[in-house]
């Protein structure tokens, strides 16, 4: 983030989810008042291209950790059909145990710090959704797959669990985040090319998953003062992006028959 702040000459910079040190790919960076949108961006599904090494288990579920188990060399490698059948069973909602070496908090401390000290860390399972999961390439012992998952899902844990179901063990050797919601890595600007003249996408570009409502100039002004406007949808509905002349004015929620702003992007002037 320090390099982004320096390149864009602003301190108001925030990201929407880090990548593991060995991973590459898309990182959405929010600038200025758009930093207030982080929680809405984080709610979107993410797509990854992952490479797993079957037959070997590591302490970190990736190639940075020490080997803690391996497959019996006398056993046959899984066939293509078996790989596909096992992966199909991971689709949908499920419970996942995060890796011990993760940023999850345990008793006020990051899990990976406890694990590095040799402490036994067992994290509670969380509910995730795997929307899609497909084989890109398989040649024993390397399996390349693409997955679209809900927020909070760990691809390292997915590879670990896939190895357990195949009875081979597995860990990730490479990971690339290809998309967050409708944003794709092909649209991204390499860090080395960032500068004051780098074009910045409008805030609406990161909110493609939200419903949009057009508001009048008077309503936009009221929202800028933090005031609600007449509601247009059901109570308890999902957040709505309120737009005036193509610009995001606020994110609002339905409360007591009105749209109450939870985030204001364009304050009243």
- Among all residues, which ones are annotated catalytic? 20
**Among the residues of 43-154, which ranges form H helices?**
80-88, 111-116
**Among the residues of the chain, which ranges form H helices?**
2-8, 38-42, 80-88, 111-116, 155-166, 217-224
Instruction: Find out whether 46 and 177 touch, Cβ atoms under 8 Å.
Output: yes
Rounded Cα gap, residues 139 and 142, in angstroms? 5
Which residues, 6+ apart, have CB-to-CB distance to 94 below 8 Å? 127, 128, 129, 130
Torsion of CA 169, 92, 21, 84, to 10 degrees: 40
Three-class DSSP category at 162: helix
**Which region, left, alpha or beta, applies to residue 170 given φ > 0 means left and ψ of -120 to 50 means alpha?**
beta
Rounded Cα gap, residues 263 and 269, in angstroms? 16
Half-sphere exposure at residue 22, Cβ-oriented, CA atoms within 13 angstroms: 15
Q: Which residue has the tokens 């008042």?
A: 33
């Amino acid at each position: 983030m320090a390099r982004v702040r320096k390149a864009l000459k602003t301190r108001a910079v925030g990201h929407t989810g880090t990548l593991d040190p060995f991973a590459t790919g898309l990182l959405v960076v929010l600038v200025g008042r758009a930093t207030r949108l982080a929680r809405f961006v984080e709610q979107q599904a993410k797509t990854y291209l992952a490479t797993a090494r079957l037959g070997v288990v590591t302490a970190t579920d990736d190639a940075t950790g020490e080997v803690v188990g391996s497959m019996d060399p006398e056993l046959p490698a899984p066939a293509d059909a078996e790989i596909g059948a096992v992966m199909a069973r991971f689709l949908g909602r499920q419970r996942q145990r995060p890796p011990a070496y993760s940023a999850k908090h345990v008793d006020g401390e990051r899990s990976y710090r406890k694990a590095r000290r040799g402490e036994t860390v067992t994290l509670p399972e969380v509910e995730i959704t795997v929307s899609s999961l497909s084989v890109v390439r398989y040649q024993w012992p390397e399996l390349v797959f693409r997955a679209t998952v809900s927020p909070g899902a760990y691809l390292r844990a997915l590879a670990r669990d896939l190895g357990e179901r195949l009875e081979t063990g597995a860990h990730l050797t490479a990971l690339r985040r290809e998309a967050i919601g409708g944003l794709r890595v092909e649209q991204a600007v390499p860090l080395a090319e960032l500068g004051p003249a780098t074009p910045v996408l409008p805030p609406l570009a990161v909110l493609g998953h939200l419903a949009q409502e057009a508001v009048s100039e008077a309503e936009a002004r009221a929202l800028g003062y933090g005031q609600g406007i007449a509601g247009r949808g059901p109570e308890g509905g999902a957040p709505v992006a309120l737009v005036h002349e193509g610009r995001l004015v606020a994110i609002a929620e339905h409360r007591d028959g009105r749209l109450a702003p939870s985030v204001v992007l364009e304050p009243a002037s």
